[in-house]
Structures are given as C-alpha cells and as structure tokens.
Structure 1
Amino acid sequence: MAAQRKTSRYVVPVAVAGIAAATIGLVPALAASGDPDLPELTAQQLIEKIAASDTQTLSGTFKVSTDLGLPAFDGLLGGIAGGAAEGEGSADPAEQLTKLVSGTHTLKIAADGPERQKLTLLDGKEQYSLVHNGDEVWAYDSRSNEVFHEKGVDAGPEEGGPAHEKELPAGPKALADEVLKAAGDTTSITVGGTANVAGRDAYRLVIEPKQQGSTVDAITIAVDAATGTPLKFTLDSTSGGKPVLDAGFTKVDFGKPAASEFDFTVPKGAKVTEGDKGAAGQKDLEKDLEKEFGGLGDLGLGGVGGLGEGDVNVIGEGWTTIARIDSGAPAPKTDEAPKEVQGFLDSLGDKVSGKFGSGTVFKTKIVNALMTDDGKVYVGAVTPDALVDAANAAK
C-alpha cells in the first residue's frame, strides 16, 4: 500500500489529461461538409431549441479525436494504477474508457431512454462493449475474453441529492435566459452559421471566452435543426493546431433501437468479474474520492489523484478560474518517479520561478498545472503565465 501511495504522487501531472477529459465531457459530434440554408436563429432561440429537445432514442456511429498536446501515453495510467500489463485487455470500464483521452477512436452507440444504453469501442480487430440495461451493467473485452458485471446500478440521482438542490427553470425560454445570464460578461454566445452533420442539417452554437488568459479559444456545438439534439462538439485551444476534442456522429438514427440491442450473454469461456460499486457502493466510492482528492470533486477536478488532503481555494472567475491546492508536502522530484513515468513527466514539465519561489508547470493544450517546490498546486484552463501570476499574487 505504501508503494502504491508513493507512486500515486506522480499521477498528479499525468492526470492533467484526465482533468481535461472530465471537464470537457463527451458530446457526440463530427461535422461533414456543406452549409445548409436554414432560417436564422438568435443564440437565445437556439439554446431554447436545445432545452426543448426530448430525444430519448437514437443509434449511430461516431468518431472521437482527442489532441491534448501530450506525448503518447496509452496504457500508462493503467500501468501506474496497477491495471493489466501491456498487451493485455481488461473489461473494467474505468480502464477501458481512459483510451478516449488520446488518439482517434470509432464508437457505436445506442440509447433507449435513461434505462438502456450501449457503447461499443472499435479499435482494430478487437472491440469493447459496455451495456447498461435496467439496474445492470455488463462490459466485455474481446482481447482478454473478460466480462465485468455490476448489479444494482442507480440510473439517476436520488431525490434530495445534488441534482435537486436547485430547481431548473420552467420551460426552454426560462432556461435559455438563465444560461445567457450565467454567461455574463465573461462569455460570448453566438450562432455561427450552419453545418451538415452525418447527413443532417444543423446550426452552430459558438461559445467563446471574453477574458484574456484562458486556453480555450472556442467551443462549437452543432445542433440538429429538426430535433435540437447536439450532434457536434469541437473544443479549440488558443495554441492552435488540431482541436483538443472533435467527437461526432458519422451516422445517426433517432428511431428506437431493438430491445435485443441491450441484451447480453456471457461469451463461452469468459472470465466474469463482479463489481461492488452498485447503488449502495456508489456512496462509499464518493466518500473515498472526497477523502483522497481533498474536495476537488466540487470544482470539477476530480480526475486529479495523489494530492491527498489539503486546502482548496478558488482564484478568479469564469474562464480564468484557478484552483489553488495546498498539499501540505513538498512536490515530488521527477528523478524519484518510477521509470515508466520519468520520461513522460520530463516531456510535460517546464521549470519556472518567481516571487512564489520555484516550481514546474505541467502543460496540455487546455489544462495546465503549476506545482511549486513547497507543495502548492495551481491548476486551471489558463496559460502557464496566468498560473505563475496567481502564485506570485498569493505571496
């Protein structure tokens, strides 16, 4: 256990990639070619259209391309965390879905309301399937011929839980008003023309920071003109180049999938692992995460492991918000890290100094983190200069 905790200290900069993935989220999308001629809509009208959308069923194929500006690290996170050895497969969703953090992947999806969904990750000859049907989750990895099963899964938040702490506005117009009001002076929301996505006409909703210092250049969401369903999501960085995230449908059908699509039969000879994080276990998991991450979940930064308990302060607002964490311990030295991590850390980090002292900035195209030598961590979707300025101002 001590060895695992020592190793976990070095997951902090590696998990910067995880922060980006968790913060961005996954919205199916991929633009095709052609700009259809559609009636003009204001940003408020388009947001109302999204809010009024009641899409419960769909199926299709889409691609996800992620470019965080990181060197290749496929399998590194799983190796550090004690996952399967290189070349082996695993049916654990937590390990499999980390693949989406880098590279380009093709997925097939099907959904029939909140009770039934299926996702299949197609990579080469092998495939990985994740099926949610009622209160059960099944996952199968063809490479290892392993099955993961979990029963008693909660399909949604409990009444009285976080999702019920604040009532949503009544009706699409009221919700659109709230969205635009929340954007305030820090965000520009406009309709940036039209697009054709997987053969469907769509509007482009463009969200841009007004503040200087953010690494986000723009977020563009293509919205289906007929249903109001988001079909395209692109996140561009101020550093230019390929989008940080470009995920989207190449084919989509809003019809109801066959019930048999969500059936699962354990393949012959497959090893079955039973999960213990069902509806009851989820609460224990949340408590463990809260203790381990020192409250980072409240900031949407739950992907950062190995920080331990510490004080968390929020600096700034809007797109230039920075989380300041006092880990209470000196930053680890990269030359003490495990071999498989050393080269990765060195390629990510830049040494910096200022009034705060000295430290290392670990960089991606979207989320950056400054770890000072005295154990402070500054992290946000901001430029390295903004992190240094924040650290200097804290002195």
Structure 2
Amino acid sequence: MAETRKASRFIVPVAVAGVAAATIGLVPALAASGDPDLPEITAQQLIEKIAASDTQTLSGTFRISTDLGLPLGGLTSALGGIGGAGGDSSADPSAKLTELVSGSHTLRIAADGPERQRLTLLDGSDEYSLIHNGDDVWAYDSKSDEVFHEKAPADAGAPDAEKHAPKDKELPGTPKQLADEVLKAAGDTTSITVDGTAKVAGRDAYQLVIKPKQAGSTVASVKIAVDAANGTPLKFTLNSVEGGKPVVDAGFTKIDFSKPAASDFTFKAPEGAKVTEGAAEKAAEEAEGAKGNPFGDELPGGLGEAFGLGAGTGKDGVNVIGEGWTAIARLDTGAPTPKTDEAPKEVQGLLDSLGDKVDGEFGSGTVFKTKIVNALLTDDGKVYVGAVTKDALVNAANADK
C-alpha cells in the first residue's frame, strides 16, 4: 500500500524529467478543442510541464474511488490487514490506510514543502488524521480515540530519503503520486497523447492520455488531468479493458495553492486518548525487507507496488517474462498448490468465486482475477502474476514449460 514519503507526495520528483527523453519517439498529439479553451500543446510539452512543476504548497479536498472488481467489497482491506506492521494501535497508518484500497473515500490534505503535510480521511462522523511536522509523525483515529506517534527518519532531508522513509507513513493515492509512477515508467511500449481539456476543482486542465501499445494488458488507459497553469496533476483515472467503473479514480474537488496555516500541522493528543509510540527503525527495516518489485519499471504506473506485488518479491526464484505493460512475474514456490476441494466448504466457495480453472500445455491451475492484476497458480506450485489478461498468463505458462 502506498502511503506518505516526506518530500515528494506534492513535489514532482526530478526523475519525471527523464520521461521527456522517453517520449521523443512518439507522434505529438495536439489538444482537442474543448471547454475550457486552452492553447494547443503537445504531449511532449505537457510532460515537460509536469516535470518542471515546483508546487510545494497546497490544500484541498480530493475523492478517491477504487474498484478492483472483487466479488467481496471488503476483501482487499481484510487481506491488507493480515500481518500488518501496526497491530498495536488502530491509529497506525500501516493498518488504517489499507482501507483506501477499496471503496470510495473523501480526504482533506494540506502540504507546506517537504517538512509539513497533513491528510485527513473522512469516514462518516469519524475522522482519521495523519500529520507530518518536522521531526514528528502523528496519527489520530477519532473512532477509537487512539494516537500513534513516531519520530521521522533522521535522514529525511537527504536526497535518498525516500529509500529510508517508512513506507507505512506515506500519503496514499494523490493524483500527483499516481501520475509520477506512470510517467516514470513510460517508454516504447506506451502511447502518450493529449486529448482535450477539462475543468477540475475549478481549474483549467489538459487531459493527458496514456495507453499500452501492447495487446494482452488489462490496462485500457490512464488519464491524467494536468493543471494548465502550473503543471500539477489534479485527477488520475485508471481504466480496465473490462470497462465499467475505473479501477482507480482520484481527483481533487477543491484545491488552493497558497501556503496553508501553520496550525494545520500542529497536533496535541486529546486528553484521555491512548498514545502508542512507534519505532521508526523497525518500520524502516520492514520497508527495506519488503522492497523489491520484480517488475521494476517494467510495469507502468507502479501497479505491482500499488496492488501489493512488491511485498516479498525481488528474492531468488522470481523471474520476469516480457516487458512493459505485459510484464509477468514468475515465482516457483516448489510446492504443489493445495487442492481447493480439500478446503472447508466456505473457503471453497470463496476461492471458486475468485478463480477460474484453466488448462494448457503447462498442465492445470487456477487464475485469480481482479479488474487489473491477475495471477495464475499452477497445480505444480508455479505462480504467474501481472497486469495482464487470463489468456496472457496461460500463454506465458505454456511458453515457460
């Protein structure tokens, strides 16, 4: 689960500037006429505008909706909590922020450079707040009246701070974060065009459209609404080839680029609230241990990390088949897959609803599917997973035989 790296949740990282070179070979597409009426711009120019954006202060509200197409709406959240690092406090972000993986949520955010950020997750009458202010990271869950606190990493101001910042303290799912991940991975397997304009949170914006050139990907398109004035991504939409609701739809409904009040980043634990002190060192070690997406930059949009494929990968036995949007990670567990007919009846029903039985030259297995990430578990213990269709997984397993 992606959550708040100190400096770059709201500042476009320098790495995005390299996207310009990766897209030189693309045929420039001019913005279509629309409302608002903005000057024409090429995809190359718009990417350069995003890379040059120096937005460091903002506040506003945004809405994030996630629809993985799972038969059980709360399944992802339930799975996200298994083995989580923050079991001692309901306010620990490593546990709480997994809720954003499913459903629709409204969030308020504020940022004042790399040292101060605040996110508030609104859930009915309850609120969950995550505040980073200098050396401190605070989280408060009003429902349980619990507080989580830990010191920010001492090297957070260093250029490589993101490598050491605890992953479970990162603000999740902002349009800019999602856009950065896609643009960093753009290359020859990707088509990037400008498709008209839009009004987002009262701001004039261009629509940047990113599509796979390869057949077999589950990604139909990624659309990023970019502020015409300052290059800040305002809205991010990830669509599946299955159609229907977007897999991820995250966009600002209100935004203000002026400097937030200093009081937005101050926090004092309410009287009587349970306060849990976290261990930044332990979180950093866990983040380091979980690091390593087998796709690397070969899966555009950081889809591997976004849907948990980074956890426990990057170890011996993981290989990557293909490249770009159709990259598939292969893992040989060395153990036959347990037969579902030997599992309890309730478990059998769940597995059957999630998976499709498949056969091929590789033998037989089950494809477990969402709208964007699918996985083939063969009966002899191999796992093939990627943002690809069921047929692509079966073909990869056949070719790997």
- Asked if Structure 1 and Structure 2 have the same fold, meaning a TM-score greater than 0.5 normalized by the shorter chain, the answer is yes
Q: Which residue in the other structure is 1:351 paired with?
A: 357
> 1:200 is matched with which residue: 191, 194, 203?
203
DSSP 3-state at the match of 1:281: helix
Q: Which residue in the other structure is 1:68 paired with?
A: 68
Q: Which residue in the other structure is 2:237 paired with?
A: 234
Shift of 1:296: 4.4
Q: Which residue in the other structure is 1:44 paired with?
A: 44
Looking at both structures, which has the greater relative contact order when contacts are Cα pairs under 8 Å and sequence separation is at least 6?
A: 1
Structure 2 runs not aligned, ≥5 long: 3-8, 11-33, 164-181
Contact 1:76 1:340 in 2 (8 A): no
TM-score, structure 1 as length reference:
0.79
Q: Counterpart of 2:120 in structure 1: which amino acid?
A: T
> 2:258 is matched with which residue: 246, 255, 264?
255
Partner Cα distance (1:285, 1:84) in 2: 11
Q: Which residue in the other structure is 1:393 paired with?
A: 399
Q: CA distance change for structure 1 residues 79 and 114 in 2, over 3 Å: closer, same or farther?
A: closer
Q: Percent identity, please.
A: 70
Q: CA distance change for structure 1 residues 180 and 341 in 2, over 3 Å: closer, same or farther?
A: closer
Q: CA distance change for structure 1 residues 185 and 309 in 2, over 3 Å: closer, same or farther?
A: closer
Partner Cα distance (1:161, 1:138) in 2: 19
Q: CA distance change for structure 1 residues 131 and 337 in 2, over 3 Å: closer, same or farther?
A: farther
Shift of 1:269: 1.0
TM-score, structure 2 as length reference:
0.78
Q: Which residue in the other structure is 2:289 paired with?
A: 288
Q: Counterpart of 2:114 in structure 1: which amino acid?
A: P
Q: Does 1:77 align with 2:83?
A: no
Q: CA distance change for structure 1 residues 218 and 241 in 2, over 3 Å: closer, same or farther?
A: same
Q: CA distance change for structure 1 residues 289 and 273 in 2, over 3 Å: closer, same or farther?
A: same
Contact 2:86 2:93 in 1 (8 A): no
1:24-76 per-residue CA deviation (whole Å, 9 max, x = no partner) reads: xx99xxxxxx8200000001110111111100000001110111101212552
Q: CA distance change for structure 1 residues 337 and 110 in 2, over 3 Å: closer, same or farther?
A: farther
Within 5 Å, which residues of 2 pair with 1:1-395?
35-71=35-71, 72-73=73-74, 75-77=77-79, 80-81=82-83, 90-153=90-153, 156=156, 158=158, 183-276=186-279, 278=280, 280-289=281-290, 296=294, 301=304, 303-304=308-309, 310-334=316-340, 343-395=349-401
Q: Counterpart of 2:327 in structure 1: which amino acid?
A: T
DSSP 3-state at the match of 2:318: strand
Contact 1:115 1:134 in 2 (8 A): yes
Deviates more, 1:72-81 or 1:361-370: 72-81
Q: Counterpart of 1:288 in structure 2: which amino acid?
A: G
Partner Cα distance (1:387, 1:217) in 2: 17
1:149-178 per-residue CA deviation (whole Å, 9 max, x = no partner) reads: 111335748556887xxxxxxxxxxxxxxx
Q: Counterpart of 2:366 in structure 1: which amino acid?
A: T
Q: CA distance change for structure 1 residues 143 and 297 in 2, over 3 Å: closer, same or farther?
A: farther
Q: Which residue in the other structure is 2:16 paired with?
A: none
Shift of 1:328: 2.0
Number of residue pairs the alignment of both structures matches: 346
Shift of 1:268: 1.4
Partner Cα distance (2:74, 2:347) in 1: 10
DSSP 3-state at the match of 1:50: helix
Contact 2:85 2:283 in 1 (8 A): no
Q: CA distance change for structure 1 residues 375 and 197 in 2, over 3 Å: closer, same or farther?
A: same
Structure 1 runs not aligned, ≥5 long: 1-17, 20-25, 28-33, 164-178
